[in-house]
Amino acid sequence: VIGFIYGYITEQFGWTVYIVMAGFALSCLLTLPPWPMYRRNPLKWLPVQESGSEEKKAADRKPKRHSKS
């Protein structure tokens, strides 16, 4: 948003692109690396469940029939 506003005020589309790219680079720098501050409280995921019941449900489904036009 800042890039678009600044570019509109100065009437220079190039500055808009530079500021948006800088914001993107800053957001990538803050979120992509595994920073220790983000790893203090890891998420506890649910355990993996067996998929035997899903195979049975898929076999019980009726195939869809498409009418020809």
Confidence bin at 67 (pLDDT 50/70/90): low
With 0.85 as the threshold, say if the pTM is over it. no
Q: What is the pLDDT of residues 23-62, one digit of tens each?
A: 999 999 988 888 888 788 888 889 988 876 555 555 566 6
- How far is the C-alpha of 30 from the C-alpha of 19, rounded, in Å? 16
Q: What is the pLDDT of residues 14-23, one digit of tens each?
A: 889 998 999 9
Per-domain boundaries in the chain: 1-32
Whether residue 17 contacts residue 8, with contact meaning beta carbons closer than 8 Å, is answered with: no
